[in-house]
Structure formats: C-alpha cells, structure tokens
Amino acid sequence: MEKKKKRLILRTIILAILVLAIGYTVYGSATKDKIELVKVGSDAPDFTLIDLNGEKHKLSDYKGQGVFLNFWGTWCKPCAKEMPAMDRQYKVFKDQGVQTLAVNIAQTDFEVQSFVDKYDLSFPVVIDKTKSVRDAYNVGYLPATVLVNPEGKVVKIITGEMTEANIASYMELIKPE
C-alpha cells in the first residue's frame, strides 16, 4: 500500500510540474513583445559585424549605396552554388555603388575562411556569431538575400538560390541613381 501512495504522490508532482511548464510557455507567448518583421518598405535594421580581416562593417555606413545582403552557410549547397555568381556580379557593380555583404550564420572563422578561399571570394564576408542579425532580419532558410536601397530601405527579400541573371537584375534594382 505504501508503494502505491508514493507512486501517486510522484505522479501528481510530475503532472503539476508539466501543467506549470505548459502554463508558463503559453503565458510567455501571449505576453511577449511582438517582433516587427522586416518587410519590403521597412528600414533595414542596422548592425555591426566583423569580417575575416578583423574590419567592422556597419550597415548604416553604406548609406547612399545599395546593399546586397546575403545570409548563408558553408554547408548550404545552394549558397555554394550562387557564391561565384555573386562574386562576378560584385566585381561588376561595386564601382556603381552596390555593396555585397555576405553574412555567415555562426560558423567558425576556419570554416568560413576555407570556404572563401575555395571560391576565391572578393566581397566582404562577415560572421554573425550570435545569430542576432539573422534574428533581426527574421531569416529562417538559407540562402536568403535582402536588398537594401541607398536610403536604407528594404526593397526586396529573396529566399532560395539565385541565378547569375537574377543577381545582376537585383543589383541593378538597388544601384544608386
């Protein structure tokens, strides 16, 4: 009889903990501040990230230029496929006021540097070590690209792999007048 009583008490405690955990989760979700999603027409959230050479890149420093903001990972096959095309178009558009900034999502410097070396990339590559920029831009799937015009507004959000023709037309879209 004593065993049954202990088992009943233990089960009741576990059930109470589960009910409290579910209640806390529901309450937290209902009262959490709503995150404003980045959308076409909104201001691009500013950030500062460090590139592989130790230089700081602050989005607001590029005001007056178009920014081709690409989120990627070394493990992402579509990312690897589009990177050489992005680099070729960067070379075409960089003197026309369009900056390319590739934001790696929280990988090691070694992994990212190996990838950059393999594809001989010439545009700035930064690492979002804390995933705060990814979160600010609500990036879920990679690759993802956000086009920012010279005034700092988001003009287009692209998810998935791009062709070289797509990349060229997108860069043309954000080129300063």
pLDDT tens-digit readout, 37-85: 678 889 999 999 999 999 999 999 999 999 999 999 999 999 999 999 9
Peptide bond into 143 cis (omega under 30): yes
CA atoms lying within 13 Å on the CB side of residue 153 = 7
Q: What's the CA gap between 42 and 61, in Å, rounded?
A: 18
Q: Answer yes or no: pTM beyond 0.75.
A: yes
pLDDT tens digit sequence for 148-176: 999 999 999 999 999 999 999 999 999 99
User: Which CATH entry fits the domain spanning 48-173: 3.40.30.10, 3.30.70.270, 3.90.580.10, 3.40.50.2300?
Assistant: 3.40.30.10
Question: 138: phi > 0 → left, psi -120 to 50 → alpha, else beta; which?
Answer: left
- In the chain, beta strands by DSSP E: 48-50, 56-58, 66-72, 98-105, 125-128, 144-148, 154-159
Pairwise CA distance, residues 149 & 173, whole Å = 8
